[in-house]
Amino acid sequence: MAVNRTPVLKRCRSLDLDPTFLGYDKRSKRQLIRSGRKMSEYGLQLREKQKAKFIYGVLEKPFRNYYKRADRMKGPSGENLMVLLERRLDNVVFRLGFARTRREARQVVLHKFITVNGKTVNIPSYQIRVGDEIAVKEDAQSTQRFKDIAETAGGRLVPEWLDIDKENWKGQVREFPSREVIDVPVNETLIVELYSK
């Protein structure tokens, strides 16, 4: 299994991305110094794709498959792509505040701490559906890790398309997110332009 080991702050700096979208409070003190060259149209499109891949922790082949699937769906391909990425289980775990960062959310899912409708699911790319109940296993809730998560991620705002029961570490998917409520700074039209060449 491929693992992205890129230093987060370094990658955020190169993509001109705020680390808070990944769940990190730290900021890099270094400034990105670009040469005076203007970025080409292809360069801008590529950077938007790399940004989306980095935020959601998706590698190239799965990302291309998401795009193909989004292209077959009704409606604008770019918006469909963002909704598919937002519906990933690791992203929903992060959005509910069951993990401090997106990388930790992926790890929490892989370590079998998360259940969907009462069944353990350890696939970060699992696509959630409307009405699904996502919960942290009872024996894991009392561990030090989740106590720390409650302290740091407990105050995070949960998007309106999700319902949460913080006391019992449960959340439910009320509806699929629309592009307007997805606060990720990615211009998906550039990604569509890149893939439609």
Domain that residue 72 falls in: 8-85+184-195
Place of tokens 């990604």: 191
Same domain, 97 and 150: yes
CATH of the domain at 110: 3.10.290.10
CATH of the domain at 47: 1.10.1050.10
Share of the chain above pLDDT 90, in %: 46
Across 22-26, 29-33, 129-133, 152-156, least confident range? 29-33
CA atoms within 13 A on the CB side of 5: 3
The DSSP-derived string for 65-84 is HHHHHHHHSSS-HHHHHHHH
pLDDT at 72: 93
Q: Which two tokens stand for residue 105?
A: 């959310």
Across 65-74, 99-108, 147-156, least confident range? 147-156
CA atoms within 13 A on the CB side of 195: 21
Share of the chain above pLDDT 70, in %: 91
Same domain, 189 and 163: no
pLDDT at 46: 92
Do the domain assignments include residue 3?
Answer: no
Do the domain assignments include residue 2?
Answer: no
Do the domain assignments include residue 37?
Answer: yes
- In this predicted structure, the answer to whether residue 36 has a pLDDT above a threshold of 90 is no
Same domain, 54 and 121: no
Same domain, 123 and 72: no
For the stretch 94-140, pLDDT in tens is: 999 888 888 889 999 999 999 999 999 999 999 999 999 999 998 88
Do the domain assignments include residue 164?
Answer: yes
Is 196 strand, coil or helix?
Answer: coil
Domain count, the chain: 2
Do the domain assignments include residue 178?
Answer: no
Same domain, 23 and 45: yes
Same domain, 92 and 130: yes
Same domain, 93 and 169: yes
Mean pLDDT of 176-195: 89
Same domain, 96 and 164: yes
pLDDT at 62: 93
The answer for 81, left when phi > 0, alpha when psi is -120 to 50, beta otherwise, is alpha
Same domain, 70 and 128: no
Polymer length in residues for the chain: 197
Same domain, 76 and 20: yes
Same domain, 141 and 120: yes
- In this predicted structure, the answer to whether residue 30 has a pLDDT above a threshold of 70 is no
Same domain, 58 and 76: yes
